[in-house]
Homo-oligomer: A and B are copies of this chain.
Amino acid sequence: MVKGNLLVVTAPSGAGKTTLVAALLAADSQVQLSISFTTRPPREGEINGKDYHFVDRAEFERMIAAGELLEFAEVYGNYYGTSQLWINEVMANGRDILLEIDCQGAEQVRRLFPEAIGIFILPPCLETLESRLRGRGKDSDEVIARRLAVAKEEVNHVDEFDFVIVNEHIDDAVRDMIAVVRAQRLTLARQSERHTALISSLKG
């Protein structure tokens, strides 16, 4: 079984990342969204192993102590985190894992998985970004200015990624995502692993 790829997808909020990722997942069944572990109790309708991996506090703290987590945070008394162990297992089964994280998280991931493929998504222009961040017009100018500052700080890190997709026309951007993910399975390294026997049978 050839190892899957680790895909790290980052974008300033307002770039349309969620829609793009959903379209990729619908189009390519080899890609699996990373599922976080949490100590928060499941809500109505949430499925263990699909929405989250629900674990108790003792188990989560064991995972922290064992160094199994790629990153974690405590929010309102509940832990949330990504299991490095789980990611490695899924990838070992030949699936690609997609992690939706901010550029700080992306940097942590690159340190542990240097072969991770970074994809950065940009909005088509500043005006689009601003209007998306403005949302329904219910927030104060101060709140919006803060959101814009955070978004811009994300874009400062674009140079740390391998691929850049500009989400101007959603259909084109989806095709871009699909192409990047497909092409990364066709690199010499991946194909040499996948087709070792074929290649050696064809060599002179």
Residues of A at the B interface (CB closer than 8 Å) are 12, 122-126, 129, 149, 151-153, 155-156, 158-159, 161-166, 175-176, 178-180, 182-184, 186-188, 191-192, 195, 198-199, 201-204
Contacts and interface: CB of A to CB of B under 8 A. Distances in A.
A182 B188 contact: no
24 contacts: A12-B202, A122-B198, A122-B202, A124-B198, A125-B198, A149-B204, A152-B202, A152-B203, A153-B204, A156-B204, A158-B188, A158-B192, A163-B186, A163-B187, A163-B188, A163-B191, A164-B186, A164-B187, A164-B191, A178-B179, A179-B180, A179-B182, A180-B183, A182-B183
B166 A176 contact: no
Report copies per complex: 2
Nearest to A12: B202
Contacts of A153: 204
